[in-house]
Amino acid sequence: MAKIHSTAIIDPKAELDSSVEVGPYSVVEAGVQLGEGTKLDSHVVIKTGTKAGKNNEFSQGAIIGGDPQDRKWQGEPTFLTIGDDNHFREYVTIHRSNTEGNSTVVGNECFLMAFVHLGHDVKLHNDITIANSCGLSGHVTVEDHVMIGGMVGVHQFVRVGRCAMVGGLSKLVKDVPPYMLVHGVDPTVHDINAIGLRRQGITRESRLALHKACKLLFKSQIGLTAAIEIVHREVPITDEVQYLLNFVERIKYGKNGRGDQK
């Protein structure tokens, strides 16, 4: 039987695995599903439409699966889907989708520090770390192994590519290329995320190729289309370089956000 504090309020229509622990004054609404090993600290609220997998931990004051902050939403049934082994620290807030039948999604092994906010329809992949007081607007996508520093604001529909690192206090209004280190109010690619790449087991050959591609794509005065052609000719096309090229070719605002596609 689930270990539930006497002051917690659990709706009879919620589904809790027998190993779930719920702390003082927490609330779990109807229709919520919480998997094996899940733990709720005190004053946690899990809203209807939320489904969470195994071994998730929700710290004090987290509000999970709240209504989307969108004027267009009129109460349609929407969802939040959470994978396994995630940590949601104090006062994290996550909102459901704003479109009937759709979900905001958090993958596996993510670590969201205190006061992080995920807006409606955000998609977090796996093994993502987001530091304190970051805000992700609606429809943001963050790919695997990303690290985002504290107090970062992310505009709606922005994508952050896999294994990127975003420095604290940055303002993201355009896509962040994978494998890169980005920082600033007008974000600039500084170099490859060398430490993160080594931690993920990316080979030295591929790291060197990514470094050369980075210089051509983001540090030169060459237009994006021409830079991509040079990378294809002069840089070893490892799996990571190919992924970077595919991502950059889809960046909405062009090279470094200037719309330079020549």
3-state secondary structure of 136: strand
**Out of 3.40.640.10, 3.10.180.10, 2.160.10.10, 1.10.287.3610, which CATH number does the structure's domain 3-193 have?**
2.160.10.10
Q: Distance from CA of residue 249 to its chain's centroid?
A: 21
Residue ranges in the chain whose pLDDT is less than 70: 252-262
Tell me which of 23, 138, 161, 196 is the catalytic residue: 138
Tell me which of 95, 117, 120, 139 is the catalytic residue: 120
CA dihedral 66, 49, 155, 179 (to 10 degrees): 130
121 carries an active-site annotation = yes
120 carries an active-site annotation = yes
CA atoms within 13 A on the CB side of 113: 12
Predicted pLDDT of residue 181: 98
**The whole model's pTM is what?**
0.95
Tell me which of 41, 121, 127, 175 is the catalytic residue: 121
Predicted pLDDT of residue 253: 47
pLDDT (tens digit, 9 = 90+) per residue, 123-139?
999 999 999 999 999 99
User: The domain at 198-248 falls in which architecture?
Assistant: Up-down Bundle (1.20)
Please count the residues of the chain: 262
3-state secondary structure of 248: helix
183 carries an active-site annotation = no
pLDDT (tens digit, 9 = 90+) per residue, 57-110?
999 999 999 999 999 999 999 999 999 999 999 999 999 999 999 999 999 999
Q: Where are the domains of the chain?
A: 3-193, 198-248
User: Which residue is it, tokens 């990514």?
Assistant: 210
* Closest by Cα among 120, 123, 99 to 110: 123
Q: CA-to-CA distance for 143 and 35, rounded, in angstroms?
A: 24
